[in-house]
Structure 1
């Protein structure tokens, strides 16, 4: 039986959905990207609920969750605390965790606190080192037309990342490294713009993907990846912002891990190759639950 509602967490209430077709597998908690986005684009993951409950929620300040004005809430430690509060409220004693993009930052930070009951972690298009992410985006930029590179560089230097020319340049970057579909699904185009909270993104990351100026600037958990010992799956798209080289590097640092590339995708394989994405995730989770 599906359900939705609100959960009290530090700073306000978060909105969640639980999809449940009475599958016997351990529940899957999905941590969306951003910071400051929502779980809207990930709703296709409810297809995994044939085998297990699937829980999606909008992190505080995002999507349909409360929008408190206290900027001190926008820090990694509080979002880690939020994951624990969601688990407790829904009585999730054993869980699989799937994080996407910033959601992998959150998943790793949460797992490294050594909570009990994590059966596996999926790092989908991972960002586990802000310095490495920044380095990769600068390398990705060099694959774009020179004028696009120059526009992004100039706007960053001049503090005009809120300009139309910067938006146009980012659109070119996105078509290469975020979502390569010529025609995006109609439902995705209808995503309400208010579901994104740019203020959280600016505080935690900065004004753009390419230079980290926010409070995540020093985040780098690569030295601790050896301590994540549960079964782990790393995935990315062949053309992902989260580059195959760096994603595979993270996987090599993690003892009990597997690595998969979605060959036709950039950063949104769950939309670009939805059937393949669900198949890969479902197979990984089922092996753990039913072995």
Structure 2
């Protein structure tokens, strides 16, 4: 294992490389949030038997610097940060794996920066269009108990998101559509403890189903067809990113694949770890082989 800090726009970011001597094309993981560090992606370390697995905490959360200036936390700056991570770590050829908001970051990077050397994309629980993601939460919310729905509507009407009944409603929702394991894994609890809620609320909002932050109108789904790297989408059957939405995204990219995991939700890499890792490992091997043949 190798870890340390590298310079990026706005401050230093923390990185960790597992299996740095493995011979395969490295996998670079982009965590979700915004503002939730990489710890909950820990199961990906198992892929280091074939290739280096690289994690980093985006600026403002986890072990990275935490500047208080919220104007730093924009999608364009996070794209620049991703480019800096690749440059500083010498990741000339790399697979990108995004989870949730990390998928939005990966797609923005591909469409805006047009980077060379990206061997493939794995997009897990994809949040690619903020309005669509929020709409999916509303669909799920309709199937929650009446008390949960009422608490959410009451908070949104009053603007008070601190009420105990609202906080209880959030946790009931999260335990169905974010992570269904009971108790939550230690790596997920650790990530939540190290998150930066100010960034999350600034960019997204007070909860998954109340998007009112700076990302609230972002989406590039009409441009997905311009991505020319192999793409694997993954989601849980009860994912916040509903399978119907993930299928629409898949259909927008020629040759893209979709894997749906049953009895799983947004953190399906934690709920169905063995099957998830097998699917990702197989996809990465096939992407590597495709590059070798070309």
Q: Quick check: 1:244 aligned with 2:243? A: yes
CA 1:119/1:192 → structure 2, altered by over 3 Å: closer, same or farther?
closer
Task: Please list every run of 5 or more consecutive structure 1 residues that lacks an aligned counterpart in the other structure.
Answer: none
Q: CA deviation at 1:194?
A: 4.4
Task: Please list every run of 5 or more consecutive structure 2 residues that lacks an aligned counterpart in the other structure.
Answer: none
> Does the 8 Å contact 2:8/2:84 carry over to 1?
yes
Q: Distance in 2 between matches of 1:275 and 1:193?
A: 23
* Cα offsets for 1:5-24 (capped at 9, x unmatched): 00110110011100116332
* Cα offsets for 1:177-206 (capped at 9, x unmatched): 1111133334544x1654111111111111
| 1:155-234 paired onto structure 2 within 5 Å | 155-189=155-189, 191=190, 194-234=193-233
Q: Distance in 1 between matches of 2:203 and 2:97?
A: 21
Structure 2 SS opposite 1:13: strand
* Cα offsets for 1:197-242 (capped at 9, x unmatched): 1111111111222232111111111111000111000010000000
* Cα offsets for 1:92-132 (capped at 9, x unmatched): 00010000000001000001121110110011000010111
Q: Distance in 2 between matches of 1:48 and 1:137?
A: 31
CA 1:192/1:48 → structure 2, altered by over 3 Å: closer, same or farther?
closer
Q: Which aligned segments of 4 or more residues in structure 1 are displaced greater than 6 angstroms?
A: none
Report the counterpart of residue 269 of structure 1 in structure 2: 268
Q: Distance in 2 between matches of 1:207 and 1:171?
A: 13
Query: Which stretch of the first structure deviates more once superposed, 210-219 or 143-152?
Result: 210-219
Report the counterpart of residue 116 of structure 1 in structure 2: 116
Q: Distance in 2 between matches of 1:163 and 1:290?
A: 53
Q: Distance in 1 between matches of 2:188 and 2:240?
A: 20
Q: Quick check: 1:138 aligned with 2:133? A: no
RMSD over equivalenced CA pairs, Å: 1.3
* Cα offsets for 1:153-176 (capped at 9, x unmatched): 101211121222211001110121
Q: Distance in 2 between matches of 1:106 and 1:188?
A: 21
| 1:53-64 paired onto structure 2 within 5 Å | 53-64=52-63
Q: Distance in 1 between matches of 2:62 and 2:51?
A: 24
Report the counterpart of residue 5 of structure 1 in structure 2: 4
Q: Distance in 1 between matches of 2:218 and 2:3?
A: 33
Report the counterpart of residue 150 of structure 2 in structure 1: 150
> Does the 8 Å contact 1:229/1:256 carry over to 2?
no
> Does the 8 Å contact 2:261/2:272 carry over to 1?
yes
Structure 2 SS opposite 1:220: coil
| 1:13-24 paired onto structure 2 within 5 Å | 13-20=12-19, 22-24=21-23
TM-score, normalized by length of structure 2?
0.95
Q: Distance in 2 between matches of 1:16 and 1:238?
A: 32
Q: Quick check: 1:84 aligned with 2:75? A: no
Structure 2 SS opposite 1:123: strand
* Cα offsets for 1:34-57 (capped at 9, x unmatched): 001000111111111111111001
Q: Distance in 2 between matches of 1:204 and 1:231?
A: 29
